[in-house]
């Protein structure tokens, strides 16, 4: 596996690749790779001749009080895992390579208002513009045919799909299902922040989402009441929930007709760790 840290070297490499047949698949990450990331890489490996992974902890997508400075960095372990998974190229730029003028002065790609301002956007107002800006830059540098994202960050996935469509980027976005621990907790780099007592409570987030899903499948309940009772369930378990919300899968709007595909999304603080998760409302 080739490891590249500069944009100039990356471009030269990509230029050579573009004269060859076959697809390039790209998996953007912030490192501290776990089984969820590795599933994305395996998917990329299955569908493309060339697999590029990036590791870049993007300062633009963190709020002032968030964990940018403490974000777990495990480069040696990540490199080994990616080499084992047969990735072809790992791009690991530093902040000055990605943002020559500094992240606060860079040109931004602004995520669409409707999707950017709800749910995660209410609690992390600058987050999605940071994500769309860095992902657009990485797409420009790598020029992949396909990019692979996890469904764990469901709102991010929809925003990236919209960005690619709105900006006419010739990239197909593939989604991969969330990977969970044996007790149901969605894999996340931030799980490593949980102490033993919090780790024991954490799977209740997923359980609460499953309970909401089951209620929605059983009957046509008052959705506001179901959401409120799920928030209460999380509070009782020891979380400080930020939202539990039933939305349309297609655009995170409020579902109207009963036959629209729906997803239940939640975010909750557990101690000082922020966890998010989501479950589609279908019986499978
Ligand atoms: O999902 C993530 O890890 C990040 O938001 C991403 C897509 C790598 C952009 O920094």
Domains of the chain: 2-176 (3.40.50.620), 189-281 (3.30.1300.10)
Is 105 a known active-site residue? no
User: Higher pLDDT residue, 17 or 282?
Assistant: 17
CA–CA distance, 176 with 147 (Å, rounded to integer): 11
For residue 126, pLDDT beyond 70: yes
Average pLDDT, the chain: 97
Q: How much of the chain, in percent, has pLDDT values that exceed 70?
A: 99
Compute the average pLDDT of residues 272-280. 98
First to last CA, the chain: 38
Least confident of 11-25, 130-144, 183-197, 245-259: 245-259
Report yes or no: 144 and 27 within 8 Å, Cβ to Cβ.
no
pLDDT tens digits, residue range 75-119?
Answer: 999 999 999 999 999 999 999 999 999 999 999 999 999 999 999
What residue ranges line ligand 1, CB within 6 angstroms?
28-30, 58, 61, 131, 134-135, 153, 156
Compute the average pLDDT of residues 207-233. 96
Ligand 1 pocket test, pick from 26, 27, 28 with the greatest ligand atom count within 8 Å of Cβ, gives: 28
Q: Are strands 2-4 and 50-55 parallel, antiparallel or unpaired?
A: unpaired
Report yes or no: 53 and 81 within 8 Å, Cβ to Cβ.
no
Provide the CA 85 distance to its chain's centre, in angstroms: 20
pLDDT tens digits, residue range 135-146?
Answer: 999 999 999 999
pLDDT tens digits, residue range 12-31?
Answer: 999 999 999 999 999 999 99
CA–CA distance, 239 with 269 (Å, rounded to integer): 6
| pLDDT at residue 282, rounded to an integer | 83
| pLDDT at residue 258, rounded to an integer | 66
CA–CA–CA angle 53, 57, 59 (5° rounding): 140
Q: Are strands 146-150 and 89-91 parallel, antiparallel or unpaired?
A: unpaired
| pLDDT at residue 34, rounded to an integer | 98
For residue 283, pLDDT beyond 80: no
DSSP state, residue 93: -
Task: Pick the atom of ligand 1 nearest to 56's CA.
Answer: 10
Report yes or no: 118 and 127 within 8 Å, Cβ to Cβ.
no
Choosing from 37, 43, 105, 127, which is the catalytic residue? 37
pLDDT interval class at 220 (50, 70, 90): confident
Q: How far is the CA of 131 from the centre of ligand 1 (A)?
A: 6
pLDDT interval class at 251 (50, 70, 90): very high
Give the number of other Cβ atoms within 10 Å of residue 29's Cβ.
21
């Amino acid at each position: 596996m080739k490891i590249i840290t500069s944009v100039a070297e990356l471009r030269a490499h990509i230029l050579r690749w573009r004269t060859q047949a076959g697809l390039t698949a790209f998996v953007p990450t912030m490192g501290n790779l776990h089984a969820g990331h590795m599933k994305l890489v395996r998917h990329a490996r299955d569908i493309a001749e060339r697999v590029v992974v990036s590791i870049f902890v993007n300062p633009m997508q963190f709020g002032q009080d968030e964990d940018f400075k403490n974000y777990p960095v495990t480069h040696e372990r990540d490199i080994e895992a990616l080499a084992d998974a047969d990735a072809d190229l790992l791009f690991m730029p530093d902040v000055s390579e990605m943002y020559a003028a500094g992240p606060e002065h860079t040109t931004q790609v602004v995520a669409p208002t409707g999707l950017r301002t709800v749910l995660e956007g209410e609690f992390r107002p600058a987050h999605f513009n940071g994500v769309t800006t860095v992902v657009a830059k990485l797409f420009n540098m790598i020029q992949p045919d396909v990019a692979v994202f996890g469904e764990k960050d469901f709102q991010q996935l929809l925003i990236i799909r919209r960005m690619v469509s709105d900006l006419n980027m010739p990239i197909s976005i593939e989604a991969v299902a969330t990977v969970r621990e044996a007790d149901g907790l969605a894999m996340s780099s931030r799980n490593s922040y949980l102490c033993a007592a919090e780790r024991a409570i954490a799977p209740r987030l997923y359980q609460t989402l499953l309970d909401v899903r089951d209620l929605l499948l059983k009957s046509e309940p008052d959705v506001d009441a179901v959401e409120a009772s799920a928030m209460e369930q999380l509070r009782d378990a020891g979380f400080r929930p930020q939202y539990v919300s039933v939305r349309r899968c297609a655009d995170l709007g409020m579902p109207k007709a009963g036959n629209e595909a729906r997803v239940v999304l939640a975010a909750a603080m557990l101690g000082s760790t922020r966890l998010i998760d989501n479950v589609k409302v279908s019986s499978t």
